[in-house]
Structure 1
C-alpha cells in the first residue's frame, strides 16, 4: 500500500534554465510516485559551480531551454511507494543524484533538486537515498553530495594515520577535504588560502594550522608545522606527506611541486579550466605520486555518518542562505567570485 502524507499539492515550481543566462521558476505537475518510488519534499538544496555553468550555456545538450537544476538536495519524504522498504513518510533524507534512471538529477537528467518536490525513482535505501536524524539541519544535510566529492579526493590519496596533510583552498570542497582527512585519522591538517574569512573557517573546523599564502612563506610555515622532509640535491623540503589541490589554480600546483618532499602524494580535486604546464624532468627525482579525483564512485553515503555525528562542524561551510523564491539571486551570488562561498537554497 502506498503511504501518503497530506496534503500534497497538484503543482510545484522547478528552477529551470530557460535560455543563456536565464533561470525561471517553471510550474509543473507534482510527480505521481509508482510502487517503487518515493516523493520527497525538498527542504534545502546546495548550489554548485556547475549550476552556473549550465546557466551560462542556456542548458545542457538535449535539454536546451529546459534544464532543471539542483543536484545537492535534502528533504522530507511525503509519499512512499508500496514496494519500497525501510523508508517512511516523515523521514529526513539525502539523495544520490547519480543513480536516477532518467539521468543525473540536476545535471542532465529530467529532474532537479531545486524544486518543491523531487521524485526518487526506484528508491532503495542506501543506494538512491539515505535517512538522516531530524536534529541535523536540512541545510547541513544538503552538503552530503559535495562532501562526498571531498571524501573521494581523500580516499584517492590514501591519506590516513601517520600522514601530514596540506589542503590548498578553503572553499566548500577544500574544507570538506580537510574534515575528511581528519575523519581518516591523519596526524595533522594544514589549510592554505589567501582569504582571511576562509582561513578562519578552516580554524573553526579544526585545522591544526592555516597559512595565508599571500603573506606567508608556504615552505617555512610547513616546515614549522610538519618539520623538514628528505631533501633532494640539497633543496629544502617540507615534511608534509599528502597535498590536495582544491583550487584549480596553476600557481598552487607549482607551489606544491616546489615544496613537496620525496615520495609525497599530490591529489587534484579542484577543476583546472586551463592547461597546466608541468616540468616532469624537475619532478622525476622527487618521485611524487599524482592522483586526480572526480565525483564519488562509492562515497555518496560513506560521508553521511560523519555529517550526522559532526554536523556543527560541517555547518561552518554554509556561508549564504536564500529562499527558493530568490533562487535567481542565489545562483548569481554563487557564480560571482568573492560574493559567497557555499550557497544553500532553503524551502518553507
Structure 2
C-alpha cells in the first residue's frame, strides 16, 4: 500500500510499504481522514525523526473505520468508526517517529486494549471533523492545565486550531467570558462563529485597553493598578509579543498556560512580575484528554467543523502538506480518504 513518508531533508513523498498480517489481538483500520499538523512540516524540514531519519511516516491526526478484528480482540467491531490515541501504539507514536503514520490507506493497531487506543464514535460525524479529535485533545489539555473554572474570564491568544479548540473547551468548562486575540480578521471571524464572547485584532487594537474594558480593572498584590481582570490567559500563538502582552496585563495570581511552541527564547523580566504572583504553566500533548474531548466533538460537531479551513482528497496529500506548511496559507488542513 502507499504511505506518505519524509524521504529526505525538506522532502516528503508517497512510498510503497508492506502491511503486517492482523494478529489475534490486533485491529486493522482503514484511514478515512487525517489532519495535517504543524509538526509534520517540522519533521519534513529536518529530514525525519531518528531512528527513521529520511524515512519517517507522517500523519498523527486520524479518523478511521475498523476493517478487521483479531479473534482475541474485543471492544470494537468491523464497520465501527473510531478516533485514535496516537500515543498508545505498541510500535511507537503513530506518525511522530513511530513505525506507522496515518497518511496512508491502512494502519494496524497491535495488541489492542479496549478503551485504550480506540474510541468508537457515531457514524454521522463527518470524517474531517472526527479527525480533529487529536489536536482538540491538545487544546483541551491546555485548558485543564489552566485550571479554568465556571465564572472566570479568559483570554486566548491565537485563533488557529488549538486556540479555537481551547475556546470551545473553556466554554464547556463554564468560563463566563472568553476573548480571542489574533492578527488575522478571517481567523477572528471563525472565533466569532464558534461562540467567542469577544475578539481583538491585535494588529489594530490596544489589547490591554480592550481587556480592561471587557474584563474590568484589577491590581497586583501591592495594589498597583492597570492590570486586567482576566483570570486565565492561554498562549496558542507562540509569539514573543503574546507573552509580553499577557504578562503586562496579568492581575494578581492570574494563570498563563502555554501550549504553543516557541521557536526561540523569550526574555522575561521576572522582577517586574513578582507582585503579580502569576502562575506560568506549560502544556504538552494529552495525558488523559484524548477521549475526554470526543464527547464535545460529538455534541458540537457543527462548531468544530468551522475549525477546518481546507480539505484535500488523499491523492493530493502532498499538496495538502505544502499548503499547511505555507505561513498564512491555511488554518486547518485535513486529508480525506475515499
Match for residue 256 of structure 1? 246
1:87 pairs, out of 76, 93, 101, with: 76
Distance (Å, rounded) in 1 between the aligned partners of 2:179 and 2:110: 41
Aligned residues: 337
Q: Shift of the alpha carbon at 1:322?
A: 1.1
Match for residue 209 of structure 1? 198
Which aligned runs of 4 or more in structure 1 are off by greater than 6 angstroms?
none
Distance (Å, rounded) in 1 between the aligned partners of 2:56 and 2:320: 17
Distance (Å, rounded) in 2 between the aligned partners of 1:65 and 1:153: 32
1:335 pairs, out of 314, 317, 325, with: 325
1:181-214 Cα distance to aligned partner (Å, 9 max, x none) = 1111111111000100000000011100000011
CA contact (8 A) 2:219 2:225 kept: no
Unpaired runs of 5+ in structure 2?
Answer: none
Q: Residues 94-133 of structure 1: matches in 2 within 5 Å?
A: 94-133=83-122
CA contact (8 A) 1:136 1:311 kept: yes
SS at match of 1:45: strand
Match for residue 137 of structure 2? 148
Distance (Å, rounded) in 1 between the aligned partners of 2:149 and 2:240: 26
Match for residue 246 of structure 1? 236
CA contact (8 A) 1:126 1:301 kept: no
1:78-116 Cα distance to aligned partner (Å, 9 max, x none) = 001111112010000011110111110001100110100
Match for residue 220 of structure 1? 209
Q: Is 1:58 aligned to residue 44 of structure 2? A: no
Distance (Å, rounded) in 1 between the aligned partners of 2:171 and 2:21: 42
- TM-score under structure 1 length normalisation: 0.95
Distance (Å, rounded) in 1 between the aligned partners of 2:17 and 2:34: 18
1:247-285 Cα distance to aligned partner (Å, 9 max, x none) = 111111000111111111111111011001000000001
Match for residue 313 of structure 1? 303
Distance (Å, rounded) in 2 between the aligned partners of 1:280 and 1:66: 43
SS at match of 1:99: coil
Match for residue 20 of structure 1? 9
Match for residue 286 of structure 1? 276
Match for residue 175 of structure 1? 164
Distance (Å, rounded) in 2 between the aligned partners of 1:59 and 1:19: 7
1:317-344 Cα distance to aligned partner (Å, 9 max, x none) = 1001111111111111111100001010
Q: Shift of the alpha carbon at 1:65?
A: 2.2
2:128 pairs, out of 129, 139, 164, with: 139
Match for residue 275 of structure 1? 265
Q: Is 1:43 aligned to residue 36 of structure 2? A: no
Q: Shift of the alpha carbon at 1:233?
A: 5.3
Q: Is 1:68 aligned to residue 57 of structure 2? A: yes
1:188 pairs, out of 177, 181, 186, with: 177
Match for residue 9 of structure 1? none
Distance (Å, rounded) in 2 between the aligned partners of 1:331 and 1:242: 33
SS at match of 2:227: coil
